[in-house]
Chains A and B, each alone.
Chain A
Amino acid sequence: MVHAFLIHTLRAPNAEDTGFCRVLYSCIFGAEKSAEDVRPHGAERDRLLRKEQILAVARQVESMCQLQQLASGRPPSDLQAQTSDEPVSLHEAPRGVFGLAAGDPFQEPRTVVWLGVLSLGFALVLDAHDNLLLAESTLRLLARLILDHLRLLAPGSSLLLRADHVEGILSRFLPHGQLLFLNDQFIQALEKEFSASWPR
């Protein structure tokens, strides 16, 4: 099952800006049992740890994506916003997978599947023995839905104040982190349901 889903910024390789990699949205599906922490503020420390784990993953995804872009020689303009209305072909988008050892940063060993579209990175943090093929196609699906429904291709739009849309999509297509075997017809039906209950 999926442990977490996150969306973060992706800077082009060799970019001159010295800004940070920002996590724009993250959702951890059910936390593991916290260690016995009787000190005060144990809950806050837990939350801090979770946030930092997610940020660590985001940074690693960004650097993996940058390295892949450099190696494949794709021009950085690939990551810039498109002005056309055509849907972005996600089959060609840079994507990859890498492993996280136990303790670094999660307690259990995990696997990360990621996808880079324009200047956004999408990543799924999976348990070590999940169906990677399904995870990859689910990630592509989620990215497409989020880009379409939030019209992120249009200039000036952002997902920062519209996290509820992302939540709505996740609750249907990755409920509680459950990867679903959805064929095209099921996806269409779910999309219709979502559009009906969510004003744009």
Chain B
Amino acid sequence: MFSAGAESLLHQAREIQDEELQRFCSRVSKLLQEDLGPATVDALQRLFLIVSATKYARRLEKTCVDLLQATLSLSTCSEQVQVLCAAILREMSPFSALTLSCDHMQNPHQLSLVASVLLAQGDRREEVRSVNQRIFAILESRQPEGPSLRPLLPVLSRVVGLAPGTLQEDQASLLSKRLVDWLRYARVQQGTSHSGGFFSTPRARQSGPITELDGAVASDFFTVLSMGQHFTEDQWLNVQAFSMLQTWLLLSSPEGPGTADAEDRSELEGSTLSVLSAASAGRQLLPQERLRKVAFEYCQRLIEQSNRRALRKGDSDLQKACLVEAVRVLDTVCRQDPSFLYRSLSCLKALYGQLGTDAGSERALLPLAQFFLNHGAAAAVDSDAIYQHLFTRLPSERFYSTTLAFEVTRFCRDNLPLFDPHLLGLLKLSFPNLFKFLAWNSPPLTAELVALLPALVDAGTAVEMLHSLLDLPCLTAALDLQLRSSQMPSERPLWDTSLKIPGCLEAFRDLQFQPLFQHLLRTKASGSTERLVPLYQLLQPMASCARVVQCAQAVPTLLEAFFSAATQHQVADKALTNQLALLVLERSDVLYQVPQYKARVLRVLSSWFLALCKQKPSLVLELARELLELVGSMSNIQSRAEMFTCVVWAIGEYLSVTCDRRCTVELINNFFEALEALLFEVTQSRPSANLPRCPPQVVTVLMTTLTKLASRSQDLIPRVSLFLSKMRTLGQSPATSSVYSEEDVEAIRTRATELRNLLRMPSVAQFVLSPSAEVCQPRYHRDTNTALPLALRTVTRLVEREAGLLPG
């Protein structure tokens, strides 16, 4: 639909030159002065496109702008022209040459149009206040047969939203009074149609009563869920009043103007034997209090009306939206006036019991949960059932609904400060379920879950959570299979129908793999971990489907968030560091094979492994056995080179007495031998063997680490020196030259030479390669007498002088 014609039109509008534009403006000015017919409309439409098409300001001729403003206030021209003028002025906003004002305007419709321009100025000249004043001037001077007030309320709602402090106390009271009228006392008769001809008599079209959504006659006052053929003015105002009710209640709360403080009120009530209602105690309700009372009644009525079976689908959608809003308004009312709490609680508990199972009705769960969270403690209500529903049933049943997923995660995020320890514990245990939301809807949910993750991380479940995070793409595949197996054939499929995976579906149903799938799809943290390796192979056909790939792309971000949060917990729990480090080592080779997944995950895991080591230097020693195993095998270099490099580097850095006094010479020797053997394998040429492919960084890190270890256990120095001198011949054999490029070989040789030189001065080598803690302070290096660079320079000069004297 966005055809080439439209693209070129847009292009023309953006490229129009200033001169041509001014000519066009003159034409528009002429048309505005003479004739306000179709030609003017056409010209204004073009002008709107020109102004709105570019983000840079367009300078329009002054006469034109003045005429646009004048036409806006003209009551004789068509709505189309007026709307276009307002739209053009609004698109140009904010601009300083605006002379439009709303003073002395009496017509609500006109005020609404003018306000749309004024409110777009960014309140540079107190436009909000002047619009507000005008609105109330009209409200106060309301003539019974005057123009409809319908256009006024939305503007008022916007003004209140933009600048809540603008309203004065008497204005706020007036509005509250009017809202009470419109909400509670709209008539329950249908309006008459105004489309009758000249000859028809009013009596011929006697209108009936307003009906409910299921066709029954209205049982009580008019609400947004009432039906009729034609609506009267006050019924329209009823709809608008309810639409702005929540905003108004929130913004005119005790902090706002003109209302009594809620605490004072409850004290007052308490002192007058609060069993009696305030009215019967002889006290007149303040406008704000009356509004809350009416709001309460309105919401109660809406909740009752939502139970009815609507005749039209659109109406049943509205019922659900009204239910959500009714609960939100009740929440606000109860927060402002706790005396409504008792009645609200009974009403809402009943509602919870009645929530249906059709799609959309579970959306009311969230405001209900919010209500019980805000008020449950005060009313000593056990709302466990609703939280169980929210965290346990909902995610596993409706993970595919993006909006629900979004709302639940937001609910958790926003309300964390309000969760008591029990609820927080429940939330933390439900992380596998919450991850389902992310696994299915990763693009919109990633940011939300990253924000929520720190609250979910707990020392007790961290290990299990890391496994879950690494297996998220697998979870996506499993959820897909779950949907395929369980959904009724008549419903529209929620999965990718172009992907045919009968093998995976069979595996899903196979009893043999049930335990693994059940573990993957669990709703609560189980405290145990399962190795899902068999599933990776079974689900391989699904590894490149779009949804799985999107989830896989989100995982590195989540891992970062996880580790940042988990490292906070480690301060208290040393064992956790070891567990996480081990997990990192183990899982770096055990991942579901989604394209590019492993590379990205390894990058994150490697950098965090180093961070863990840095935080707890004795980690290398404590995991010595596992690390020895890792560096003992050639295959580890090829399958996870980046991780391998980090591990070797960590060994070089942290395997020393300064990091942990339990470090023995024997341990250093063991590692040395293992690394030396490995280095030999990757660099020495053996005529019969094929040289394994190995990134040059691995070679250099191996050399550096060996040198570091030698500097700590000095009888190893001769061995290393010999080895390093052999590196000079690297690249000269056909086997190595095919694996390593010229630059790589050069780099390796240079490094080998540097290290050899360093080892000629063992104490300097120790100083450089295994510095003590003070050396790592910047102060050490700024102090010219003790600085490391000085030591190095000295060494270099000494060595160069001797270079000619040494063999080789």
Q: Which residues of A contact B (CB under 8 A)?
A: 1, 9, 19, 22, 24-34, 43-44, 46-48, 51-52, 55, 63-64, 67-68, 70-73, 75, 81, 92, 96-99, 101, 111, 113, 118-120, 131-134, 136-137, 152, 156-158, 160-164, 167-168, 171, 175-187, 189, 197-199
B608 contacts chain A at the CB level, 8 A cutoff: no
Segment of B61-69, B239-247, B526-534, B700-708 engaged in the interface with chain A: B239-247
Extra contacts, 11 of them, besides A67-B546, A111-B406, A177-B158 (Cβ < 8 A), are A1-B157, A25-B52, A29-B116, A55-B55, A75-B498, A98-B443, A131-B321, A133-B321, A161-B49, A176-B115, A178-B153
Is there an interface contact between A163 and B48, defined as CB atoms closer than 8 Å?
Answer: yes
A119 to B2, CA, bound (A): 7
Residues in A neighbouring B225, C-beta threshold 8 A = 183
Question: A181 and B55 in contact (CB under 8 A), knowing A1-B161, A186-B239?
Answer: no
Is there an interface contact between B321 and A181, defined as CB atoms closer than 8 Å?
Answer: yes
Segment of B93-101, B559-567, B575-583 engaged in the interface with chain A: B93-101
Query: Which residue of A71, A171, A177, A189 contacts B546 across the interface (Cβ within 8 Å)?
Result: A71
Chain B: interface residue total (CB-CB under 8 A): 100
Query: Which residue of B116, B123, B403 contacts A132 across the interface (Cβ within 8 Å)?
Result: B403
Instruction: List CB contacts (< 8 Å) of B339-356 with chain A.
Output: none
Question: A97 and B402 in contact (CB under 8 A), knowing A71-B550, A178-B240?
Answer: yes
A186 to B328, CA, bound (A): 23
Nearest Cβ on chain A to B470's Cβ, whole angstroms: 21
The chain A residue sitting closest to B2, CB to CB, is: A9
Is there an interface contact between B324 and A133, defined as CB atoms closer than 8 Å?
Answer: yes
Is there an interface contact between B314 and A183, defined as CB atoms closer than 8 Å?
Answer: yes
Residues in A neighbouring B496, C-beta threshold 8 A = 71-73
A174 to B186, CA, bound (A): 22
Residues in A neighbouring B121, C-beta threshold 8 A = 31
Is there an interface contact between B447 and A131, defined as CB atoms closer than 8 Å?
Answer: no
Nearest Cβ on chain B to A77's Cβ, whole angstroms: 12
Is there an interface contact between B157 and A181, defined as CB atoms closer than 8 Å?
Answer: no
Nearest Cβ on chain A to B175's Cβ, whole angstroms: 15
Residues in A neighbouring B546, C-beta threshold 8 A = 67, 70-71, 73
Cβ proximity bits B298-335 to A, threshold 8 Å, 1 near / 0 not: 00000000000000101101101110110010000000
Question: A176 and B123 in contact (CB under 8 A), knowing A92-B492, A168-B80?
Answer: no
Residues in A neighbouring B402, C-beta threshold 8 A = 96-97
The chain A residue sitting closest to B124, CB to CB, is: A34
Question: A29 and B239 in contact (CB under 8 A), knowing A1-B247, A199-B80?
Answer: no
Is there an interface contact between B406 and A118, defined as CB atoms closer than 8 Å?
Answer: no
Nearest Cβ on chain B to A170's Cβ, whole angstroms: 10
A2 to B374, CA, bound (A): 26
The chain A residue sitting closest to B118, CB to CB, is: A30
The chain B residue sitting closest to A177, CB to CB, is: B158
The chain B residue sitting closest to A180, CB to CB, is: B243
Q: What are 20 contact pairs spanning A and B, CB under 8 A?
A: A1-B157, A1-B247, A19-B7, A28-B120, A30-B120, A30-B162, A34-B124, A46-B122, A98-B447, A101-B447, A133-B363, A134-B325, A158-B5, A176-B155, A180-B243, A181-B239, A182-B224, A184-B312, A186-B239, A189-B230
Question: A184 and B3 in contact (CB under 8 A), knowing A1-B158, A48-B55, A160-B9?
Answer: no
Report which residue of B1, B243, B403 has the largest number of chain A beta carbons within 10 angstroms of its beta carbon.
B1
Q: Which residues of B contact A (CB under 8 A)?
A: 1-3, 5-7, 9-10, 41-42, 44-46, 48-49, 52, 55-57, 78-80, 83-84, 86-87, 90, 92-96, 112, 115-116, 119-124, 128, 151, 153-155, 157-158, 161-163, 213, 224-231, 239-240, 242-244, 246-247, 312, 314-315, 317-318, 320-322, 324-325, 328, 360, 363, 402-403, 406-407, 410, 441, 443-444, 447-448, 492, 494-499, 546-547, 550
Residues in A neighbouring B312, C-beta threshold 8 A = 184
Nearest Cβ on chain A to B51's Cβ, whole angstroms: 10
A34 to B87, CA, bound (A): 20
Nearest Cβ on chain B to A122's Cβ, whole angstroms: 13
A99 to B242, CA, bound (A): 26
Interface of A is mostly: mixed
Is there an interface contact between A180 and B157, defined as CB atoms closer than 8 Å?
Answer: no
Query: Which residue of B80, B157, B229, B547 contacts A176 across the interface (Cβ within 8 Å)?
Result: B157
A163 to B546, CA, bound (A): 37
Nearest Cβ on chain A to B428's Cβ, whole angstroms: 22
Is there an interface contact between B1 and A119, defined as CB atoms closer than 8 Å?
Answer: yes
Is there an interface contact between A184 and B403, defined as CB atoms closer than 8 Å?
Answer: no
The chain A residue sitting closest to B123, CB to CB, is: A33
The chain B residue sitting closest to A112, CB to CB, is: B444
A1 to B247, CA, bound (A): 8
Is there an interface contact between A43 and B95, defined as CB atoms closer than 8 Å?
Answer: yes
Nearest Cβ on chain A to B218's Cβ, whole angstroms: 13
Question: A31 and B122 in contact (CB under 8 A), knowing A1-B157, A185-B229, A189-B231?
Answer: yes
A52 to B239, CA, bound (A): 35
Is there an interface contact between B45 and A163, defined as CB atoms closer than 8 Å?
Answer: yes
Residues in A neighbouring B321, C-beta threshold 8 A = 131, 133-134, 137, 181
A111 to B153, CA, bound (A): 24
A47 to B92, CA, bound (A): 8
A97 to B445, CA, bound (A): 9
Is there an interface contact between B403 and A96, defined as CB atoms closer than 8 Å?
Answer: yes
The chain B residue sitting closest to A43, CB to CB, is: B94
Nearest Cβ on chain B to A39's Cβ, whole angstroms: 13
A158 to B8, CA, bound (A): 12
Is there an interface contact between B45 and A162, defined as CB atoms closer than 8 Å?
Answer: yes
A14 to B319, CA, bound (A): 39
Is there an interface contact between B162 and A164, defined as CB atoms closer than 8 Å?
Answer: no
The chain B residue sitting closest to A182, CB to CB, is: B239
Query: Which residue of A44, A73, A92, A111 contacts B57 across the interface (Cβ within 8 Å)?
Result: A44
Residues in B neighbouring A137, C-beta threshold 8 A = 314, 317-318, 321
A67 to B154, CA, bound (A): 36
Query: Which residue of A131, A164, A175 contacts B83 across the interface (Cβ within 8 Å)?
Result: A164
The chain A residue sitting closest to B151, CB to CB, is: A175
Is there an interface contact between B94 and A160, defined as CB atoms closer than 8 Å?
Answer: no
Is there an interface contact between B239 and A33, defined as CB atoms closer than 8 Å?
Answer: no
Is there an interface contact between B243 and A181, defined as CB atoms closer than 8 Å?
Answer: yes
Is there an interface contact between A178 and B243, defined as CB atoms closer than 8 Å?
Answer: yes
Is there an interface contact between B447 and A99, defined as CB atoms closer than 8 Å?
Answer: yes
Question: A51 and B55 in contact (CB under 8 A), knowing A119-B1, A181-B242?
Answer: yes
A63 to B550, CA, bound (A): 12
Is there an interface contact between A178 and B325, defined as CB atoms closer than 8 Å?
Answer: no
A42 to B147, CA, bound (A): 38
Is there an interface contact between A120 and B49, defined as CB atoms closer than 8 Å?
Answer: no
Is there an interface contact between A158 and B79, defined as CB atoms closer than 8 Å?
Answer: no
